[in-house]
Structure formats: structure tokens, C-alpha cells
Amino acid sequence: MDHRYNRHNRRKYSLKVHIVLVTKYRKQLLKGSIADDVKQKILDIANTRGYEIIAMETDKDHIHFLLSYDATDRVCDIVKIVKQETTYCLW
């Protein structure tokens, strides 16, 4: 059996997206514990929503991650949720 594809109700899919989130004005805010907090919050969002984080890395002014998601979700909604919840958590 091929585990690279997800199956659900006559659908067979393997959707992955590479998302890059940049801080406002490219300020170098993602240092030390803040970067760890953002990573943990994104992992929590992924676990509650049923996404799978394949890879995630941060730099001083951006974070990027490879995400596997369901065919019923939209990428714009995923980005919106991640940005809203991480910003709220950091403030």
C-alpha cells in the first residue's frame, strides 16, 4: 500500500505547500525564545487542525515550513489562521 497519498471518500491526494511568513518591515525579531515560541504555536495549530508539519526553520526575520494538508482546506485560510494565532500569542 502506498503511504505517500491520503485517501478519503473517492479522493486520493498528496497536497503540500511551502509557506514563508515574514516579520513586518523585516525586523529581526525571531531570536532565541521567541523563535521557539512561534515554532511551538505553529505545531500546536497544525496538531489541532489536522495538518502535518514536514519541515520548519526560522531565521531572524522570517519563518518557513512545509505543510501537508487536506484537500478540503484552502491555503489562504491556513495562512490566515497561522498568522492570526501566532500574532495573538506573541502579543
Residue pair 61/28 in contact by the 8 Å Cβ criterion: yes
4 vs 3, higher pLDDT: 4
Q: Give the range of the structural domain holding residue 40, as residue numbers without chain letter.
A: 6-90
**Global pTM?**
0.87
> How many angstroms separate the CA atoms of 56 and 79, rounded?
15
Q: Three-state DSSP class for 11?
A: strand
Task: Name beta bridge partners: 89.
Answer: none
For range 30-54, the mean pLDDT: 94
The reply to whether 1 falls in a domain is: no
Output the average pLDDT for the chain.
92
CATH of the domain at 53: 3.30.70.1290
